[in-house]
């Protein structure tokens, strides 16, 4: 007897993302900069949110201090 469509579909699943080969993309200069700004701000005030650091990093970038 032939397999049903359901059984064939279940056996042909892709490998999970965890098991696939490949690496991570390296952090861009902007990502490194924003992380550094966030860490500086976090040292001064532990309640700072990352979006506050993004705003501050944007201001610094426009001022040419990146």
**Which tokens hold the place of 3?**
């397999």
pTM assigned to the model: 0.64
Q: Could you report how far apart the first and last alpha carbons of the chain are, in Å?
A: 68
Euclidean distance between CA atoms 25 and 16, whole angstroms? 19
Q: What's residue 60's pLDDT?
A: 97
Closest CA to 59 of 33, 27, 29: 33
Domain residue ranges in the chain: 26-66
Closest CA to 37 of 13, 60, 18, 9: 60
Each of the 66 residues of the chain gets a pLDDT tens digit; together they read: 666 666 665 555 666 766 777 889 999 999 999 999 999 999 999 999 999 999 999 999 999 998
Quick one: how far is CA 56 from the chain centroid? 20
Q: What's residue 52's pLDDT?
A: 97
């Amino acid at each position: 007897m032939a397999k049903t469509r359901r059984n064939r579909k279940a056996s042909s699943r892709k490998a999970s993302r965890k098991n696939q080969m490949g690496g991570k993309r390296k952090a861009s200069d902007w990502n490194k900069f924003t992380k550094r700004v966030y860490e500086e701000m976090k040292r001064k005030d532990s309640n700072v949110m990352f979006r506050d650091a993004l705003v501050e990093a944007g201001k610094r970038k426009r001022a040419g201090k990146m």
